């Protein structure tokens, strides 16, 4: 992919991410205000979940600014690990927030069931805000997913599904708050129950955000299916014999591949080099031009 196409790709990614950024910022503020004014723990929890989308937008924007910097003397394989580290920090912070909301919600349920205390009934502003959030985040999900698929960006596609998770949590909030309002004073407990559901969404989102990045920092190899596909590509290159010692890992969005191959003893260095070029071309056609491939060429044993 040439520089012009890469710039267009980055421009489209930044555009949709900035749209999501401001939508999430506005939704977070509205939900927080509605949760406070409407006395809804579930809505406050939903506001925190929107904040998770907001922070994910920041990660995507940073990644397209920093990761596109060329490798330098301190970062020979590029700057992809910065995105990885930031993602882990955000995931840990979100998980702690989710635990806090879970604790608060369980405490409120304890007050109602065990201590027989009454909770203040949530206001209509909270249920209206939940409905607004459901519609807005579903539309944002569809728009972001479309752009992500067009530019083939895993980060943008992941961000789209993050919007969808927020839409789902708003459904739980809407049902919990709406049930508490419609069913009367004896059902205020539905609001903290909905908050528990949302807190679980937040912690799951935090886990999903963090686990892949943690594996990447620990230099975990690519999955078995991807490794098998890489070997199949190499095996189908003419005059390649017995590809072996495959090692793979990720640096940000880049894939790094180390492989040993055998070639006929009669080939000269120019012919062997052409085989390596063909391997690189075919692999990059599948996994992108940023893929880093190190090939160790050995003569085939008699």
- CATH number for the domain spanning 277: value is 3.30.70.1350
Same domain, 47 and 171: yes
> Highest mean pLDDT: which of 8-22, 104-118, 160-174, 261-275?
261-275
Distance, in Å, from the CA atom of 35 to the CA atom of 130, rounded to the nearest integer, reads 10
**Is the sign of the CA dihedral 220, 225, 226, 230 positive or negative?**
positive
In this prediction, residue 259 carries a pLDDT of: 93
Three-class secondary structure assignment of 118-175: CCCCCCHHHHHHHHHHHHHHHHHHHHHHHHHHHHCCHHHHHHHHHHHHHHHHHHHHHH
Contacts of 66 (CB under 8 A, 6+ apart): 79, 82, 83
Does one domain contain both 213 and 230?
Answer: no
Claim to verify: residue 122 and residue 165 sit in the same structural domain: yes
Q: pTM score, two decimals?
A: 0.59
Specify the DSSP element, H or E, that contains 35.
Answer: helix 3-37
Last residue of a domain, one of 189, 217, 245: 217
DSSP 190-247: HHHHHHHHHHHHHHHHHHHHHHHHHHHHTTPPPPHHHHHHHHHHHHTSTT-EEEEEEE
Give the containing element (helix H, strand E) for 258.
strand 254-263
User: Do 159 and 144 meet the contact criterion of CB atoms below 8 Å apart?
Assistant: yes
What pLDDT score does 97 carry?
73
Query: Based on the domain organization, do 190 and 251 belong to the same domain?
Result: no
Examine the domain organization and report whether 246 and 118 are in the same domain: no
Mark whether 95 and 71 lie in a shared domain: yes
- Determine the Cα–Cα distance for residues 63 and 52; give it in Å rounded to an integer: 17
Domain that holds residue 201: 3-217
CA dist 132 and 87 (Å) reads: 28
> Which range in 19-23, 38-42, 172-176 is most confidently predicted, on average pLDDT?
19-23
Q: Residue 118 maps to which CATH number?
A: 1.20.1510.10
**Bridge partner list, 293:** 257
Task: Give the count of domains, the chain.
Answer: 2
DSSP label of 73: S
Helix (H, G, I), strand (E, B), or coil: what is residue 112? Answer: helix
| Confidence at residue 2, expressed as pLDDT on a 0 to 100 scale | 45
Q: Which helix (H) or strand (E) holds 256?
A: strand 254-263
Q: Report which of residues 12 and 139 the model is more confident about.
A: 139
Q: What is the pLDDT of residues 85-124, one digit of tens each?
A: 777 776 777 787 778 778 877 887 887 777 666 655 667 8
pLDDT at 190 over 80: no
Cα–Cα distance for residue pair 2/104, rounded to 1 Å? 52
């Amino acid at each position: 992919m040439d520089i012009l196409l890469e710039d267009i790709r980055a421009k489209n990614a930044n555009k949709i991410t900035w749209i999501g950024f401001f939508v999430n910022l506005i939704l977070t503020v509205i939900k927080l205000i509605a949760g406070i004014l409407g006395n809804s723990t579930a809505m406050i929890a939903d506001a925190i979940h929107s904040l998770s989308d907001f922070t994910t937008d920041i990660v995507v924007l940073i990644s397209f600014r920093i990761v596109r910097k060329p490798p330098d003397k301190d970062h020979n394989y590029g700057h992809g690990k910065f995105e990885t580290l930031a993602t882990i920090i955000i995931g840990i912070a979100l998980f702690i927030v989710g635990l806090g909301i879970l604790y608060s919600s369980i405490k409120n349920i304890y007050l109602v069931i065990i201590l027989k205390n009454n909770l203040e009934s949530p206001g209509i502003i909270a249920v209206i805000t939940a409905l607004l959030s459901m519609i807005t985040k579903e539309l944002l999900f569809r728009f972001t997913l479309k752009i992500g698929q067009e530019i083939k960006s895993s980060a943008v596609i992941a961000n789209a599904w993050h919007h969808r998770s927020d839409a789902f949590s708003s459904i739980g909030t809407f049902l919990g708050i709406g049930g508490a309002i419609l069913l009367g004073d004896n059902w205020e407990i539905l609001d903290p129950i909905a908050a528990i559901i949302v807190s679980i969404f937040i912690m799951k989102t935090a886990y999903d955000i963090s686990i892949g990045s943690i594996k990447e920092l620990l230099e975990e190899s690519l999955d078995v299916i991807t490794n098998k596909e890489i070997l199949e590509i190499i095996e189908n290159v003419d005059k390649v014999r017995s590809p072996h010692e495959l090692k793979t890992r990720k640096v940000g969005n880049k894939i790094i591949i180390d492989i040993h191959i055998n070639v006929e003893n009669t080939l000269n260095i120019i012919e062997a080099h052409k085989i390596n070029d063909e391997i690189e071309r075919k692999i990059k056609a599948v996994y992108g031009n940023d893929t880093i491939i190190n090939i160790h060429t050995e003569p085939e044993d008699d």
